[in-house]
């Protein structure tokens, strides 16, 4: 996930492309030049200002009349805090080219705001809301469990602790990102609190923090990240987690606004409240994304390997999953989002020999729909519904959960 926001320079790059098109056409550039310019624009969009500056400087040396490259280089130098160099380029643009009024206004704005220092961007998101959940404890869909004994089939009735319990809750969540270097490295932190009205044993809190860095090798894009996190349940420490991830974007000939990437990750899970459940999860997935002015869509398909670090019931697990997401703007203030996730897990051993002799086969479907309405520039209301259906060959683990929540969201920069 790209977390960096480039602000003024990214917007100016789009304007510069339109402004520079006729000038660029007259220069007679070779076939390598468009690739270099596109690489520079990609660097700008990913927040890699230092890389963009180097690529644009190389381009203006090779093609002195490339107006778009001159403008983007000037704005990039300004964003890096190189005020004298940016001013020299602004003056060259005004004297050598015929910039439009919109670009002259951007130059004036850059001069007014100043280019003396690099200003790291910060993004904040805060949400507060209420919700209702039908199955807080993931209680079994059926109250009876049939298992095989030495003398045939036995039927056991589950106690009240194992049947679905519903409750209402209040939640608070937040997400913060901040640039750490001029070349797109960002730090991020996320937290979430959920407090139930009655079932306080299921109150939860989570905190994750990490660093993400973009890279480029020739025409290949890479993004690496590392994160640490902790989760509490019922006010007590429940889980620690550590993850490293690499996202690779190969240079494929795809339609405009469509991207393909391959993501690999390794996650270590330590369960503080459970015995023998620690594990390492390896994941490899392929993802397509497409976006335009009014919509965003993504589809991913991945394989997972969950390696148990102790004598966990069922042993190691192998799985796969699919994820679909569609987001669309509805008019000037509203947007809608639909999401679907399917996850399969299959154990390598009998879950509990002598009691549950089956190899656990888990299949989970998660559907989500939300509508967001903007109240102003930085505030919005979101109504979200979610349903989880967990199908298993071991009936005591089968459950269905439904959630509906309304939240107020605030975003700041």
Per-residue pLDDT reduced to its tens digit, 92-119: 888 888 888 888 888 888 888 888 777 7
pLDDT at position 320 over 90: yes
Does residue 56 sit in the same domain as residue 161?
Answer: no
| Residue 220 included in any domain | yes
2: in domain: no
Is 1 a member of any domain?
Answer: no
Domain final position from 67, 91, 113: 113
Q: How many independent structural domains does the chain possess? A: 2
The answer to whether residue 224 is domain-embedded is: yes
Residues 369 and 274 in one domain: yes
Q: Which two structure tokens, joined as six digits, stand for 384?
A: 């979200």
Of 113, 147, 162, the last residue of a domain is 113
**Percentage of the chain surpassing pLDDT 70?**
90
Residues 162-181: pLDDT tens digits? 899 999 999 999 999 999 98
> The domain spanning residue 33 has which CATH number?
1.25.40
Gap between the Cα atoms of 193 and 352, Å rounded = 34
pLDDT higher than threshold 80 for residue 6: no
- pLDDT at position 4, please? 37
If one compares 145 and 379, the residue with the highest pLDDT of the two is 379
399 falls within a domain: yes
State pTM to two decimals.
0.78
Distance CA 263, CA 279 (A): 20
- What pLDDT sits at residue 29? 40
Q: Does residue 218 register a pLDDT over 60?
A: yes
Strands (E) located in 234-316 = 236-249, 258-271, 279-291, 295-308
Coil, helix or strand at residue 51:
helix
Both 174 and 209 in one domain: the answer is: yes
Q: Are residues 104 and 219 in the same domain?
A: no
Is the model's pLDDT at 25 over the cut of 70?
Answer: no
For residue 131, tell me if it sits in a domain.
Answer: yes
Q: Looking at the domain assignment, is residue 375 inside a domain? A: yes
Q: Which residues contact 327 (CB under 8 A, 6 or more apart)?
A: 295, 296, 297, 335, 336, 337, 338
Percent of the chain whose pLDDT exceeds 90:
55
| Residues in CB range of 150: below 8 A, 6 or more apart | none
* Better pLDDT: 53 or 11: 53
Q: What is the pLDDT of residue 152?
A: 62
More confident residue, 321 or 158: 321
Q: Is the pLDDT reported for residue 385 higher than 90? A: yes
Q: Same domain, yes or no, for 221 and 310?
A: yes
At 30, is the pLDDT very low, low, confident or very high (cuts 50, 70, 90)? very low
The reported pLDDT for the residue numbered 12 is: 42
**Whether residues 260 and 366 fall in one domain:** yes
Label residue 377 exposed, middle or buried (CB < 10 Å: 0-12, 13-18, 19+): exposed
Helix, strand or coil, per DSSP, at residue 350: strand
Q: Identify the H or E element spanning 210.
A: strand 204-217
Among the candidates 60, 84, 113, a domain finishes at 113
Name which of 32-36, 299-303, 356-360, 380-384 the model is least confident about. 32-36
**Number of Cα atoms under 13 Å in the Cβ half of residue 88:** 6
312 lies in the same domain as 391: yes
Residue of higher predicted confidence among 15 and 238: 238
User: What is the model's pLDDT at position 73?
Assistant: 86
Residue 214 confidence (pLDDT) above 60: yes
| 97 and 130 fall within a common domain | no
Among the ranges given (17-21, 153-157, 383-387), the one the predictor scored with the smallest mean pLDDT: 17-21
Give yes or no for residue 24 having a pLDDT over 70.
no
Confidence label for 3 from pLDDT (cuts 50, 70 and 90): very low
The predicted structure's pLDDT at residue 150: 59
How many angstroms separate the CA atoms of 401 and 6, rounded? 40
One domain, residues 310 and 407: yes
The rounded distance, in Å, linking the Cα atoms of 388 and 330 is 26
Query: Which of 65, 90, 62, 94 lies closest to 76, judged by CA?
Result: 90
Same domain, 102 and 139: no
Mean pLDDT, the chain, rounded, equals 87
State how beta strands 152-157 and 144-149 pair. Answer: antiparallel
- The pLDDT score that the predictor gives to residue 149 is 58
Are 313 and 351 in contact by the 8 Å Cβ rule? The answer is yes
Indicate if 273 and 152 belong to the same structural domain. Answer: yes
* Parent domain of 225: 122-412
Domain containing residue 235: CATH number? 2.40.160.40
DSSP labels, 64-129:
TT-HHHHHHHHHHHHHTT-HHHHHHHHHHHHHHS---HHHHHHHHHHHHH--SS----EEEEEEEE
Q: Domain check: are 206 and 279 in the same one? A: yes
């Amino acid at each position: 996930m790209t977390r960096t926001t480039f602000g003024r320079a990214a917007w100016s790059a789009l304007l510069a492309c339109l402004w520079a098109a006729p000038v660029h056409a007259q220069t007679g550039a070779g076939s390598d030049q468009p690739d270099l310019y596109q690489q520079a624009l990609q660097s700008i969009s990913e927040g890699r200002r230092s890389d963009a500056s180097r690529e644009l400087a190389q381009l203006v040396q090779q093609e002195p009349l490339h107006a778009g490259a001159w403008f983007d280089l000037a704005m990039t130098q300004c964003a890096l805090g190189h005020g004298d160099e940016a001013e020299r380029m602004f003056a060259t643009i005004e004297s050598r080219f015929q910039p439009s009024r919109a670009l002259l206004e951007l130059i004036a704005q850059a001069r007014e705001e100043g280019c003396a220092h690099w200003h790291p961007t910060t993004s904040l998101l805060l949400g507060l809301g209420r919700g209702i959940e039908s199955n807080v404890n993931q209680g079994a869909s059926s109250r009876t469990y049939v298992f095989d004994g030495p003398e045939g089939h036995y039927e056991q009735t589950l106690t009240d602790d194992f049947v679905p319990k519903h409750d209402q809750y209040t939640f608070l969540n937040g997400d913060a990102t901040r640039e750490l270097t001029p070349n797109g490295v960002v730090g991020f932190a996320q937290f979430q609190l959920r407090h139930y009205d009655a079932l306080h044993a299921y109150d939860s809190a989570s905190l994750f923090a990490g660093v993400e860095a973009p890279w480029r090798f020739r025409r290949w894009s890479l993004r690496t990240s590392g994160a640490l996190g902790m989760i509490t349940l019922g006010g007590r420490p429940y889980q620690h987690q550590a993850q490293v991830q690499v996202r690779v974007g190969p240079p494929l000939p795809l339609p405009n606004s469509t991207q393909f990437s391959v993501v690999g990750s390794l996650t270590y899970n330590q369960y503080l409240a459970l015995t023998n459940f620690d594990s390492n999860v390896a994941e490899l997935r392929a993802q397509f994304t497409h976006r335009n002015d009014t919509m965003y869509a993504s589809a991913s398909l991945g394989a997972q390997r969950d390696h148990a670090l102790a004598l966990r019931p069922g042993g190691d697990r192998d799985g796969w999953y699919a994820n679909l997401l569609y987001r669309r703007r509805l008019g000037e203030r509203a947007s809608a989002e639909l999401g679907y996730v399917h996850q399969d897990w299959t154990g390598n051993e009998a879950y509990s020999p002598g009691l549950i002799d089956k190899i656990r086969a888990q299949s989970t479907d998660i559907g989500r729909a939300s509508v967001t309405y903007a109240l102003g520039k930085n505030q919005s209301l979101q109504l979200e519904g979610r349903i989880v259906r967990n199908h298993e060959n071991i009936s005591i683990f089968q459950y269905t959960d439904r959630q509906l929540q309304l939240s107020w969201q605030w975003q700041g920069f």
